Amino acid sequence: MNDVTKTAKSAGKPPRTASKEVRRQQLIEATIESIAKHGLAGTTMTTVTREAGLSLGLVNFHFSTKQNLLEETLRYLAEEHHQFWKKSYEKANLAPEAKLAAIVAAHFHPTICKRKKITVWYGFFGESKSRASYRKLVADIDAERLNLSVRLCRDIIAEGGYENVDPENVAMTLEGLYDGFWLNILIYPKEFTRFDAMRRIQEYLASLFPKHFERPPPTDCKG
């Protein structure tokens, strides 16, 4: 492992001192990697710095405390996710169903829906302390996305004349499904994949909004 690290390091003629931002980024990525490998509780200053191929004291130099490193890591993931679904939303064509589909797809895009990243999210969900950090850092983003989804649903409902569909309800159900399916991917990675997740959500939306969403094609394989 040491060898790997050193090789990786020496590969690109590593500057002995790098800019603050570069080092921070490097350490945050090492943190994600370490959480994926050893879990949140199993992640120590040593596992992180070894992963990064840097010295132990450097974390304290750049992040002061471990707690802070973890929060910055969460913030990084949260912002990445935020950017990702916002970009997807904006790039989608103007139709509200396209925009809603884009948000859904963003949650299960390989960039975001990586096991190592989900591990970090659920690591934070698991500890009361870190749940507090989560709320502090992510609550606003969660709310923003929920509101956006509500609006899109409202537009779809208006357009399609769907009776008896409550936009807020759908939006919250979608949020629940994102979390629930991520958890399934985390716990049963072999039995449940991101494709399964997207399929289920596609079907859910198709059943609510048949004029706007197509049913996914039947699959042979056991889902």
Partner DNA sequence: CATGAATGAGTCTTCATTCAT
Partner DNA sequence: AATGAATGAAGACTCATTCAT
Out of 7, 8, 37, 55, name the contact with DNA by CB under 7 A: 55
8 A C-beta contact, residue 113 and residue 182: yes
Q: Is 19 near a copy of itself (CB under 8 A)? A: no
Out of 28, 40, 54, 78, name the contact with DNA by CB under 7 A: 54
Cβ closest to a copy of itself, residue 92 vs residue 197: 197
Rounded to a whole number of angstroms, the minimum distance from the CB of residue 51 to DNA is 13
8 A C-beta contact, residue 52 and residue 27: yes
Stretch that binds a copy of itself, among 6-14, 55-63, 69-77, 201-209 (CB under 8 A): 201-209
Q: Is 42 near DNA (CB under 7 A)? A: yes
DSSP character at residue 43: -
Question: What does each C-alpha distance from 138 to 47, 59, 120, 130, 211 come to in angstroms?
Answer: 26, 24, 14, 12, 34
Largest interatomic CA distance in the chain? 64
Q: What is the DSSP string of 90-115?
A: HHS-SSHHHHHHHHHHHHTSTTTS-H
Cα–Cα distance for residue pair 28/20, rounded to 1 Å: 12
Q: Is 66 near DNA (CB under 7 A)? A: yes
Cα–Cα distance for residue pair 130/176, rounded to 1 Å: 20
Q: Is 67 near DNA (CB under 7 A)? A: yes
Q: Which of DNA, a copy of itself, none interacts with 190 (beta carbon under 5 to 8 A by kind)?
A: none
Q: How many residues does the chain have?
A: 223
Q: Rounded to an integer, what is the distance from CA 44 to the centroid of its chain?
A: 22
SS3 for 173? Answer: helix
Out of 24, 38, 86, 154, name the contact with a copy of itself by CB under 8 A: 38
The residue ranges that bind a copy of itself (CB under 8 A) are 38-42, 119, 122-129, 131, 134-135, 139, 164-166, 168-169, 172-173, 175-181, 183-184, 186-188, 192, 196-197, 199-200, 203-204, 207-208, 215, 218, 223
The residue ranges that bind DNA (CB under 7 A) are 2, 15-20, 23, 42-46, 54-62, 64-67
